[in-house]
Amino acid sequence: MYTLIIDDHPIVLQGCKRIITAYGACDVVGASTPLEGFRSYRRQRPGMILLDLSFGANAFAGLSFLRRLRSFDQSTPILVFSMYDDPIVVRRALNLGATGFVQKDASPEEIGGAYEAVSQGRPFLSASLATKVAFLNQPSTQAAKGSFSSRELEIIGALAAGHSYQGISESLGISYKTVANICSTLKVKLSAKALPDLVYKCIRLVEAQRSSNRM
């Protein structure tokens, strides 16, 4: 099976290749950025994708890749392979279309088992992550919702879904400058130091709101 790994750490990339080769991957190609990954995907249409979430200064570029790919491809198995273990981030990745999620510091056997399961179209989540996701509960978010305008809530949702400023501008029909100004306000409200931190906190807000709605 042709497998595409998208990760910007060469050592991690090589180690991952060695592990999954032992579990049935016979043609493995690496890409160091989501853009390079898309180009490789379009050229060769892999049977399986392993995806990191963080690329350089963009801590959640992998989420944008997930959202974009799933907009036209619902079937290719995607295993997120990340250092993150925050259940909010894990569930966001699953909601955006990841088939499975495994941590980079997991044992080779667990990583291989995750690859094997997802390559066969079966979902995978380690027992520890599954427990954390199952017990998500953020009831305070309902009260926090009132502190944001309707436009701010739209942008919070868009950032959590992996949209860029330009993408938000086009989808909402407002200027790029307006989006940037609202995001500056959100950084203050959410005590976010930079864009990656803002995106992370938007993900937490959106996922916590979904938890509250299920209660």
CATH 3.40.1790.10 is right for the domain spanning 2-134: no
- The pTM score is 0.72
Which pLDDT score is estimated for 139?
44
Give the helix/strand (H/E) hosting 51.
strand 48-51
Provide the 10 A C-beta neighbour count for residue 27.
12
pLDDT value for 25: 78
pLDDT at 1: 73
Give the right CATH number for 141-214 from 3.20.20.190, 3.40.50.2000, 1.10.10.10, 3.40.50.1110.
1.10.10.10
Residue percentage of the chain with pLDDT more than 70: 92
User: pLDDT per residue over 114-158, tens digit each?
Assistant: 999 999 889 999 878 887 777 665 444 444 455 788 899 999 988
Where does the pLDDT of residue 24 fall: very low under 50, low under 70, confident under 90, or very high at 90 and above? confident
DSSP element (H, E) containing 15: helix 10-21
Among 91, 100, 128, 94, smallest CA distance to 207 is for 91
Other beta carbons within 10 angstroms of residue 153's beta carbon come to: 15
Q: Determine which helix (DSSP H) or strand (DSSP E) holds 153, and give its type and residue range.
A: helix 150-160
- The H or E element containing residue 103 is strand 100-103
Residue 36 has pLDDT above 90, yes or no: yes
Using alpha carbons, select from 43, 17, 47, 48 the residue that is nearest to residue 30.
Answer: 17
Q: Convert the pLDDT of each residue in 165-176 to its tens digit.
A: 888 999 899 999
- Distances in Å between the Cα of 11 and the Cα atoms of 5, 30, 38 are 12, 12, 21
3-state secondary structure of 5: strand
List the chain domain ranges. 2-134, 141-214
Most confident of 55-69, 141-155, 165-179, 184-198: 165-179
Residue linked to tokens 């009260």: 143
Q: What is the DSSP letter of 148?
A: S
Mean pLDDT value of segment 60-82: 92
Q: Hey, how many other C-beta atoms are within 10 angstroms of the C-beta on 52?
A: 25
Q: According to the model, what pLDDT value does residue 58 have?
A: 77
Strand partners, 58: 55
Residue 195 has pLDDT above 70, yes or no: yes
- pLDDT value of residue 81: 92
Structure tokens at 85: 């273990």
Cβ atoms of residues 203 and 160 within 8 Å: yes
The pLDDT, as a whole number, for residue 214 is 59
What's the pLDDT band for 201 if we cut at 50, 70, 90? Answer: confident
What is the C-alpha separation between 147 and 144, in angstroms, rounded?
6
**Residue 55: per-residue pLDDT:** 87
Neighbouring residues of 160: CB distance < 8 A, sequence distance ≥ 6 = 92, 199, 202, 203, 205, 206, 207
